[in-house]
Homo-oligomer: A and B are copies of this chain.
Amino acid sequence: MNIAIPIFDRFTALDAVGPYEVLSRLPGATVRFVAAQAGPVRTETRMLTLLADTTFEQLTDPEVLVVPGGFGTRPLMDDERILGWLRRVHERSQWTTSVCTGSLLLAAAGILDGLHATTHWAELDTLAQYGAHPVSERVVEQGKVITAAGVSAGIDMALTLAARIAGEQVAQAIQLGIEYDPQPPFDCGSPAKAPQEIVELVRAVSARAG
């Protein structure tokens, strides 16, 4: 099973690497990182560089698509090179998925028209502007389209997807393999749970960073 993760300047590393770590462990899976050009792609902090193995033109028919987010999605919202590629891949994919603001790219490509979908909590309104029905859930399944909430939600999404692809036992083995028994030190990982002043702080940083 061929899995493609498109990456781009200023993507969020964990959006891509969380699902990679899960899906690369599926029996027979090959994960490839794809970009406009093969070679180094820098994350949004500029502190980490991943290599893209191949280009959009070279990788045309992955069965699984995982689109990460990051501030780098913003200049791509009208970039036909990536949006056209997403549309073409989605036509034939078995699964089309996103993490965080990766769903904004799917929406801009028209893939989420009329569908329920999610994204980073601070960007749910933006998702609505692009034709999706935003939902405050961690993982949203709509047929073959699965969207995940912000950054770390890609791990939950990928385990859900692993179960759909290979069955619950395989997904459970992967979850145990990555020892995913989360024990966050605080109970503040969603805006409904976090203190209001922290929600406003993060919202302000998020808006500035664009």
A33 — which chain B residues lie within 8 A by C-beta? 48
When the two chains form the complex, which single residue of B17, B159, B168, B184 contacts A13, counting CB atoms closer than 8 Å?
A: B17
> Closest residue of chain B to A100, judged by CB?
B179
> Contacts A17-B48, A40-B51 hold; do A194 and B176 have CB atoms under 8 A apart?
yes
Name A residues whose Cβ lies closer than 8 Å to a Cβ of B. 12-14, 17-18, 20-21, 24-25, 30-33, 40, 45, 47-51, 53, 100, 120-121, 138-139, 149-153, 155-156, 159-160, 163, 168-169, 171-173, 175-186, 188-191, 193-195, 198-199, 201-202, 205-206
The list of the 8 closest CB pairs from A to B, nearest first, reads A150-B179, A181-B189, A182-B182, A14-B21, A151-B178, A49-B51, A17-B17, A181-B190
